Amino acid sequence: MEMALADFSKAVELDPSNPLTWKLRGAVYYRLEHYKKAVSDLTKAIELDPSKPEPYLYRGNAYGEMDMFSNAIADFNRAREAENGDYFENLKQAHKAILEGAFQTALARATSATDERPNDSIAHTYRGIALHGISRFGQAVDAFNIADAIDPDNPAIMFNRGLSNLAHSRPSDAVSDFSSALSLDSSLGAALKYRAVAYDHLGMTIEAEADRKMSK
């Protein structure tokens, strides 16, 4: 990666008017976690050619890693506009970021998706998972509430909301969520496991032990 950085730096020196070289070096800086330098190079690439979506995406990711969510969302929106609108790309990248544990990037992506399609439960669910991942549990519950209102018979939404309620010190609400999820999908062993934890917080040891036995 360091060799690539040296090569692209030389290319920038030789042809500073080429937006591609600025974008490529900015991408390398991003992968090296030099986010401020990445933003600087990607901004230059955008100034030279504002029509390409990739620099906005890379810069948006860099802003997300620096907790600059409003800037990140703005860049993802600009990238979407450059691609003539790409809700599904935001959704795909939000899911990918969640799997990678990059919850700040996932939040920015999912928020862009909810802005474009506010009645899609998946985007709100991804947003809730991302918020939970950065320990904003109350806001995560709010996001899951929106998703549940759109898709009220989805056990995955109820399960994830249960996790956030449990983390937010609301064990009674968590028990309700896990129970609702199990009523729709009895194969959710994880719901039994976490409902047992919620029962423990409520001092309901008999119920907790019963759930643990069933989850084995």
**Do 89 and 193 have their domain in common?**
no
In angstroms, the CA 19 to CA 109 distance is 25
In angstroms, the CA 72 to CA 77 distance is 9
**Do 130 and 165 have their domain in common?**
no
The pTM of this model reads: 0.63
**Do 104 and 116 have their domain in common?**
yes
CATH of the domain at 63: 1.25.40.10
* Residue 40 belongs to domain spanning: 2-157
CATH of the domain at 216: 1.25.40
Average pLDDT, the chain: 93
**Do 140 and 162 have their domain in common?**
no
In angstroms, the CA 57 to CA 70 distance is 14
Quick: pLDDT tens for 7-56: 888 888 999 999 999 999 999 999 999 999 999 999 999 999 988 889 99
**Do 141 and 70 have their domain in common?**
yes
* 20-to-16, 24, 39, 52 alpha-carbon distances in Å: 10, 6, 14, 10
**Do 128 and 95 have their domain in common?**
yes
In our burial notation (b when 16+ CB lie closer than 10 A, e otherwise), range 133-142 reads: beebbebbbb
**Do 104 and 123 have their domain in common?**
yes
Quick: pLDDT tens for 107-166: 999 999 999 889 999 999 999 999 999 999 999 999 999 999 999 999 999 999 999 999
Q: Name the domain count of the chain.
A: 2
In angstroms, the CA 216 to CA 214 distance is 6
**Do 49 and 112 have their domain in common?**
yes
pLDDT bin (cut points 50, 70, 90) of residue 84 is very low
Q: Which of 157, 174, 193 is the last residue before a domain boundary?
A: 157
